[in-house]
Amino acid sequence: MSGIIVEPVNASQPDLGAVLSNIDLDNLSDAGFKVLRDALYTHNVICLKGQSKLTPQAQAELTRRFDPEAMSYGHGKTIDAKRSILHPDLKTIPHQPEVQVIGNGFVAEYEGLKNITLRHPHHRTFHKTVIPDDQDLDHTRFYRWHIDAALYGKLHPPLVTSLLAVKVPGGRTQTLLYDDGSNDTLQVPLGTTAFVSGYTMFDRLSPEQKEFVLTSKIEYAPHPYVWISTAKSRPDGLGMVSEGKEVPLQSLPPIENSADIQILPMVWQNPVTGRFALQIHPSVVRKIHLRDGRVIDDLAEVREIVHSLQRPGIAPDLVYAHDWQEGDLVLFNNHGVLHSVVGAFAEDEVRLFRQCNLAASRPPIGPGSEVLVN
């Protein structure tokens, strides 16, 4: 017996969030790891408390244990592209390049990084409309709902992402505004990471929508994070507004191989429970490939379709907003949830997190694939 205790955060939503205790990561047997993996694929976001001492190497090794054949960081070298929207937010640990430092404020020295200034992404840099300055301390938005994935080239979306809270500024709350005409709001801890279940998102679709998402595929843009670097997001962080501001294809880095453009199933299957998740990265969708071979390539239409499928799944009562404490190690099923940065920090509020994920050794499991549920 491993003795590991798994407690769902919210009994009414057991597929989104659990706390694991009585776990020794330094001596995690294969049986213990199986408990951890089953918990991850059942609850999709799991938190292990009191892991401040976890080294970057141990974090990378634990993350790799979910996918032993995986090697490089989930975005490979693509975050180095200066025009990428991801570039300013991630600092690579020199001695453990699969592990990135993210956060806010000035840090004199950490794991070989010196005099770094971290910047918690603020919606004003990404959304088309913004919360007025005089309301900005108390109000916030979902910055960008996403899957951690390069979505271009040979890099498969990572199976699992780990996030370790090293330094967390203390605890006010903010009111999150959807600002999409719905009047939806959500009370959130400062700097939360928000998660929604792709499985619930799928389950709540109509029978016609389910048929559509089970039989259609999404084509992602080439060099997706450069492509949208000049465009703006919807206020709910769930995809972009369509006003023709994307970087023109001819101004992107060259597409060396047309097979580098990723066309992925809309629905990805859970390897343990067998459930289907609606898993689409809404910001960087470009086309929809239909079952009969037709392609929807009107970008505004593609985005409207994707938004109408996903928006019910981010309703306030379906969001798990993790209340970070120092030492929290959160692991999430990146093939089964969407997540978003939330919150606005003052410049002197120092926050330091470590993030690790690895480009997967296999593509996502689409519907109709041969699945070994284990």
Instruction: Report residue 182: phi and psi, to 5°.
Output: -90, -15
Comparing every residue's Cβ against Fe ion, the nearest one is 148
Paired with 99 in beta bridges are: 356
User: By C-beta, is 34 or 119 nearer to Fe ion?
Assistant: 119
User: By C-beta, is 23 or 285 nearer to Fe ion?
Assistant: 285
- The DSSP output letter for 184 is -
- Whole-number Å distance between alpha carbons of 50 and 91: 24
Q: How far is the CB of 79 from Fe ion (least distance, A)?
A: 12
Task: Match 């401040």 to its residue by tokens.
Answer: 52
The pair of structure tokens assigned to 270 is 């859970």
Residues 317-336 that bind Fe ion (CB under 5 A): none
User: By C-beta, is 121 or 265 nearer to Fe ion?
Assistant: 121
User: By C-beta, is 148 or 219 nearer to Fe ion?
Assistant: 148
Provide the mask over 141-180, with x wherever binding to Fe ion is found by CB under 5 A and - wherever it is not: -------x--------------------------------
- Whole-number Å distance between alpha carbons of 200 and 278: 8
Tell me how many residues contact Fe ion (CB under 5 A): 1
Q: How far is the CB of 353 from Fe ion (least distance, A)?
A: 11
Q: What is the dihedral of CA 66, 158, 321, 86, to 10 degrees?
A: 140
Q: How far is the CB of 148 from Fe ion (least distance, A)?
A: 4
User: By C-beta, is 76 or 367 nearer to Fe ion?
Assistant: 76
- Whole-number Å distance between alpha carbons of 202 and 112: 43
The three-state secondary structure class of 266 is coil
Q: How far is the CB of 238 from Fe ion (least distance, A)?
A: 14
The pair of structure tokens assigned to 55 is 């080294």
Q: How far is the CB of 143 from Fe ion (least distance, A)?
A: 10
Task: Match 């989104």 to its residue by tokens.
Answer: 16
* Opening angle at CA 364, ends 361 and 366, nearest 5: 145
Provide the mask over 77-106, with x wherever binding to Fe ion is found by CB under 5 A and - wherever it is not: ------------------------------
User: By C-beta, is 98 or 148 nearer to Fe ion?
Assistant: 148
- Whole-number Å distance between alpha carbons of 143 and 192: 11
User: By C-beta, is 168 or 342 nearer to Fe ion?
Assistant: 342
The three-state secondary structure class of 35 is helix
Q: How far is the CB of 340 from Fe ion (least distance, A)?
A: 8
The three-state secondary structure class of 181 is coil
What's the Rg (C-alpha) of the chain?
20
Q: How far is the CB of 70 from Fe ion (least distance, A)?
A: 17
User: By C-beta, is 66 or 210 nearer to Fe ion?
Assistant: 66
108 Cβ partners below 8 Å, 6+ apart?
A: 114, 115
Q: How far is the CB of 125 from Fe ion (least distance, A)?
A: 16
Interface residue list for Fe ion (CB under 5 A): 148
